[in-house]
Amino acid sequence: MILDQLILPWLLAWLMAGLGAYLVAVLDRLMASGSAQVGSVWLAPLASAAWLMTQQATTTEAPDAPAWRLAPALYLALAAIGLALVPWSPTLVGVDLSTSLVLWGSLEALATVVIFLHGWSANSHLALIGAYRYVALGLSYLLISMFVLIGVALPAESLRLTEVVAAQASLWHVVSQPLGLPLFLVVGLGLTFWGPLNLADSADLSGGTAVERSGPPRLVWALARAAMLVAFSAIAATAFLGGWMGPWLPGPAWLLIKSLAVLVVLLWLGRRLPRLAPERCLTLMWVVLLPLSFVDLIWAGAVALWMA
Amino acid sequence: MALLTLSFILLVTLGLGLLLQWLPARGSLKPTYPQRAPFLGGGSPDTHAWNRYHIRYYPMTLLLIAFEMEMMFMYPWAVVFIEKGTMAVMEMGMFLAILSVGIVYAWREGVFRWQ
Amino acid sequence: MAVSWQRRLAARAPAAVFLVEGARIGPVRETLALSPGIRLVDTPRHASVLVVAGDVPTGWRDDLRRIHDQLPAPFVSVWCCCESFEALCNPIRNDAVEALPQGVVETHRELMLGKRDSAPRLLPDEPPNSWEGLGDDGHGGEGMMGGTPYGRPMAMNMQDDLRDGLTLDTLTFRLGPFHSALPPGLQAEVSLQGDLVQTWTVTRKPFASVVEPIFHAARQEPVPIVEIELARARHHLRRLYRGLWIAGWPRLAERTLRMAGQLSPNSDIAGLRYTLERGGLWRLALPEPGRGALDEAQARQLGGPAARAAGIDDDLRSQDAHYRRLGFAPTCREAGDTAARWQQWLDEIEQSLVLAGQAARHDLKTAEADAVETPRGPWADAFPHDMSDLLGEVLPGLEWSEALLTLASLDVAALDLHPLGETRLPGPGHAGQKGHA
């Protein structure tokens, strides 16, 4: 019992986090310039990680030391918990909670706290601006995420992720609730402050919350961000793309393929768009995306009733 | 049991994260004071960075709290939705409509801008 | 010597470089940005090689020392066309800009493999203020905020906020001469409330901006219009590259830079323009229309593309007979705000490429000497002066990212009147002799 209730979820989460983070680095590099890659694209993330390990870990004059050290590790832990929620097959789930959607929502909320702490604890001017700027975004994407996930839970009559996948047996949610996945992708970009929603670690703040990070803590932060991206992709594939469902391959393989597809789309969006100005980001999320998520919810309800 | 598993994963990953940060830095030197100064492109700061930061999206957070309460209501609502049928849609529609008026008001008042 | 596998792997990583740009240096940032083995970073904490390119005069040396000490160990500095500090015993000096990328990559590799020691720290290891506090744990002290806890005072509320009048703490700091988003050499005392700029006071003016030698040659003799227009387009594309980097679009920024390196009379920026518009640069990223607007007096003083973006259609090229023959008319926009200036860049690049194409067919040269329209502004008897005090009027009231994008769109540095490659005698304000650190 210890083996499959305690060790298996942990190993699943860590394996996916590790391999996924490596894959994110490789794919991102492939998409970055496309040309003029020096060295092998498979070795490059490992080389950068090794270089980061050799760097000295900077500290600042008067940081909040516990938070300064905990923030990257906490973000990594949140990503690992998220990965433990993902159902790989009807029987292979890390942690099969009856309210796994609620737990995922709470992870998103806690991610805002952790990212804010990462910037605030440094006691550095540019990092502070990055942290406070990110919180505006963090509080906004939370609502969109919840409405969209509730919409996914309606046909399943349950908040359990395995039931959500089972309810997609006839039609995947990406088809029956077409607004859901695009909105959820925006949430994913915000959760990992990736690409257009990179208000936390942006170039105009010289690296934002990570401006004073160097060395191994910076590596852990990058790892955590990539792992969270992977966890998000897996949840998105579970909730919208039918999870483990698919013809010839075994369930887990299908989930991997679908997660990879979502991951590629997120990385592509990250490279394709400029960073949103904070004011416009907030206006966009509350005035456009949130009403769209209301529409998505009503639509999901109507479809669920009609198909029941 | 699930709680135990989740706590286990949380603690072990936290431990790994902290270990990864601390282990390679064991032998290296402590950063000097000039190294610790905040990066400002070469400039110097007058004060510490921590201050009573002027958050400009504070009214937005009040609106957020209203919506959060709605979310709390919606979790059990989602589970019994199909049983209750159209009645549930009506209730939720009303709730959303009332809160949407809040969004429109906030938008017109410039809450979503750095005002 | 046994080098661990970790170090060998680290040597294969791209060299993370923090670039410090000084005076009178060509496009070194652009050269390094396009090199595959080098990654330019925005903060010295993310770097292990500090590259100082271009002369850093005496007044700016202390800030350079500060940046030098902010890199994490192991690190090394590479100096290009600049006097290094005396305290560095074995500095790497590499004055050829073309050979710089290769030199930096090799230096990084040597550093990782242990063949080169990490550079020493320059400033003494002392806190900025001694820890002042009364009582056992240092709590309490004199003054409203209890002295200087952990070396610095705490921020205090000073004045009403510009946008909503609420008085909270004002954060004041000097944003340094070598920040990647600022023109090189510009130091400003910035005070923020939250992330809104309240005041912006320039404490040190930026280094004179360098234009390609062909603009200097055009004042002596007629030059082919193709060359001068391509140089102009290249200059604007490089400014666009820096702006896009700050706007958080590194992939397109690199594409812009590549285009700048491969310009020909047949080049076309329609694809670039399409990507910028469809990607939502104006709708999502740049400040809204009206932000960062210059009034007419300011625009007239500034000159160049910024003035044309404000509706003032002055352009020295319209006095040139051969340009008129090609059908040249200054392109203008009415709103003088940041979004218009970014559009103006694209308009001017397009116009330059069209002119270059036409001039290549007819093989024309400029008809006028003595007066040339540089990308920075008109240069006849008067030349573009330093206008950095303009920033103190334009930037307050803007949120941080808006302020930096507006700064990127304004070219406030003075024009460097001597072309690169001309040897100048060291004048006042230069580091001059060896032995001065």
pLDDT for C88 equals 84
Count of structural domains within chain C: 3
B47 touching C (Cβ < 8 Å): yes
Nearest chain A Cα to B107, which residue?
Answer: A287
pLDDT at residue C140 in the model: 59
Query: Are residue C183 and residue C245 in the same domain, yes or no?
Result: no
- Sort out which chain B residues have CB atoms less than 8 A from A215's CB and list them: 24-25
Q: Tell whether C401 lies on the interface with A, counting CB pairs under 8 A.
A: yes
pLDDT band per the 50, 70, 90 thresholds, residue A68: very high
Q: Which chain A residues contact residue C284 at CB under 8 A?
A: 196, 273-274, 276-277, 280-281, 284
Of A263, A261, A255, nearest in space to A88 by CA: A255
Who's near C237: CB < 8 A, 6+ residues apart?
A: C256, C257, C259, C260, C263, C349
Of B34, B48, B55, which has the smallest distance from its Cβ to C121's Cβ? B34
Interface A-C: count of C-beta contacts within 8 A = 159
Query: Could you give the angle at which helices B58-79 and B86-108 cross, rounded to 10 degrees?
Result: 170
Sign, CA dihedral A245-A247-A252-A257, equals negative
Among C55-59, C88-92, C429-433, which stretch is predicted with the lowest mean pLDDT? C429-433
Backbone phi and psi for residue C388, each to the nearest 5 degrees, phi listed first: -70, -15
Residue C315 forms part of a structural domain: yes
Give the number of C-alpha atoms closer than 13 A to the C-alpha of residue C178, restricted to the C-beta side: 32
Which of C156, C170, C174 is facing B40, going by the closest CB pair?
A: C174
Contacts of B29 in chain C (CB under 8 A): 73
The ipTM assigned to this model is 0.93
Q: What is the pLDDT of residue C244?
A: 95
Q: Are residues C287 and C398 in the same domain?
A: yes
Same domain flag for C240 and C191: no
Q: Are C287 and C406 in contact (CB under 8 A)?
A: yes
Please give the share of chain A, as a percent, with pLDDT higher than 90: 84
In the block, which residue shows the tokens 């999870």? A243
Residue C433's pLDDT is: 40
Whole-number Å distance between alpha carbons of C354 and C356: 5
Rg of chain A over all Cα atoms, to the nearest angstrom:
19
- Domain contains C426: no
Single pTM value for the model: 0.93
Q: Look over chain A and give the mean of its residue pLDDT values, rounded to a whole number.
A: 92
Least trusted range by pLDDT, from A38-42, A238-242, A243-247: A38-42
CB nearest B17 (choices: A73, A135, A206): A73
Residue where one domain finishes, among candidates C112, C130, C162: C112
- Same domain? C49 vs C20: yes
Q: How far is C188 from chain B (nearest CA, A)?
A: 9
Residue A193's pLDDT band, with cuts at 50, 70 and 90, is very high
The beta-carbon neighbor of C69 closest among B32, B41, B52 is: B32
Whether residue C318 has pLDDT greater than 60: yes
Shared domain for C165 and C224, answered yes or no, is no
| Cα-based distances in Å from A33 to A27, A30, A264, A268, B81 | 11, 7, 15, 12, 48
Q: Are residues C399 and C260 in the same domain?
A: yes
Banded pLDDT at C144 (limits 50, 70, 90): low
The overall average pLDDT reported for chain B is 90
Q: pLDDT digit string (tens) for C220-262?
A: 999 999 999 999 999 999 999 999 999 999 999 999 999 999 9
Query: Which whole number is the average pLDDT over B13-29?
Result: 89
Per-domain boundaries in chain B: 58-108
How far is the C-alpha of A169 from the C-alpha of A94, rounded, in Å?
A: 21
Chain A residues with CB under 8 Å of C41 CB are 207
The pLDDT value given to residue C147: 63
Instruction: Grade residue C364 by pLDDT with cuts at 50, 70 and 90.
Output: confident
For residue C43, give the nearest of B39, B44, B50 by CB distance. B39
The percentage of residues in chain C with a pLDDT greater than 90, rounded to a whole number, is: 64
Q: Does residue C107 sit in the same domain as residue C190?
A: no
Determine the residue of chain B that is closest to A58 in CA distance. Answer: B31
Mean pLDDT of C136-143: 59
Q: What Rg, from alpha-carbon coordinates, does chain B have?
A: 25
**Residue C434 pLDDT exceeds 80:** no
CB pairs under 8 A between B and C: 125
pLDDT of residue A36: 56
Q: What mean pLDDT comes out for the span A194-216?
A: 93
Contact B112 A286 (CB under 8 A): yes
Q: Report yes or no on C105 lying in a domain.
A: yes
- pLDDT for the residue C141: 58
Q: Report the chain C residue with the minimal C-alpha distance to residue A272.
A: C279
| Percent of chain A at pLDDT exceeding 70 | 98
Is residue C431 included in any domain, yes or no?
no
Please give the distance of CA B24 from its chain centroid, rounded to a whole number: 31
A154-169 tens-digit pLDDT: 999 999 999 999 999 9
Q: What is the pLDDT of residue C213?
A: 92
Interface test with B, best of C9, C60, C121, C400 (most B CBs within 10 A): C121
Position C146 pLDDT exceeds 90: no
pLDDT reported for residue C422:
65
Interface of C with A in 241-300 (CB under 8 A): 244-252, 254, 279-281, 283-288
List CB contacts (< 8 A) between C45 and chain A: 58, 207, 211-214, 218
Phi-psi region of C138 (alpha: psi -120 to 50; beta: other; left: phi over 0): left
In tens, the pLDDT along A261-272 reads 999 999 999 999
- Lowest-confidence range among B24-33, C345-354, C355-364? B24-33
Query: What is the band of C437 on the pLDDT scale with cuts at 50, 70, 90?
Result: very low
C33 neighbourhood in chain A, CB within 8 Å: none
- For testing the chain B interface, which of C43, C171, C399 should be mutated: the one with the most B CBs within 10 Å? C171
User: What are the pLDDT digits (tens) for C420-430?
Assistant: 876 554 444 44
Q: What's the CATH code of the domain at C60?
A: 3.40.50.12280
Residue C309 lies in a domain: yes
**Least Cα separation, residue C126 to chain B (angstroms):** 6
- The C-alpha angle B1, B4, B8, rounded to 5 degrees, equals 145
Q: Write down how long chain A is.
A: 308
**Mean of all residue pLDDT scores within chain C:** 88
What are the beta bridge partners of residue A121? none
Q: Which two tokens stand for residue C22?
A: 């000084």
**Cα C390 → chain centroid:** 17
Give me the mean pLDDT over the C71-77 stretch: 93
Query: Are residues A13 and B13, on separate chains, in Cβ contact within 8 Å?
Result: yes
Q: Is residue C294 part of a domain?
A: yes
Which chain A residues contact residue C149 at CB under 8 A?
62
C10-50, pLDDT tens digit by residue? 999 999 999 999 999 989 999 999 998 899 999 999 999 99
Within 10 A of C139 (CB to CB), how many other CB atoms are there? 10
Q: What is the pLDDT of residues C328-344, one digit of tens each?
A: 999 999 998 999 999 99
Smallest CA-to-CA distance from A60 within C53, C37, B45, C135 is with B45
Cβ separation C12–A43 shorter than 8 A: yes
A102, B75: Cβ pair inside 8 Å?
yes
In chain A, where are the structural domains located?
A: 2-307
Distance of alpha carbon A127 from alpha carbon A121, whole angstroms: 9
Domain of residue C38, residue span: 5-112
Q: What is the mean pLDDT of residues A256-279?
A: 95
How far is Cα of residue C367 from the mean position of the Cα atoms in its chain? 33
In this complex, is the C-beta atom of B31 within 8 Å of any C-beta atom belonging to chain C? yes
Q: Residue A31: its pLDDT value, please?
A: 86
Q: Are residue C161 and residue C218 in the same domain, yes or no?
A: no
User: pLDDT tier at A16 (50, 70, 90 boundaries)?
Assistant: very high
Sign of CA dihedral A116, A117, A123, A126: negative
pLDDT in tens, C376-419: 999 988 889 999 999 999 999 999 999 999 999 999 999 999 88
Task: Look at residue C248 in the predicted model and tell me its pLDDT.
Answer: 92
Question: Is B30 in the C-facing interface, judged by CB distances under 8 Å?
Answer: no
Same domain, C375 and C281: yes
Confidence (pLDDT) at C424:
52
C111 within 8 A of C76, measured Cβ to Cβ:
yes
Per-residue pLDDT at C428: 45
Residues of chain A with C-beta less than 8 angstroms from the C-beta of C182: none
pLDDT band at C192 (very low <50, low <70, confident <90, very high): very high
Q: Which residue did the predictor score with more confidence, A256 or B1?
A: A256
- Close Cβ partners of A298 (under 8 Å, ≥ 6 residues apart): B89, B92, B93, B96
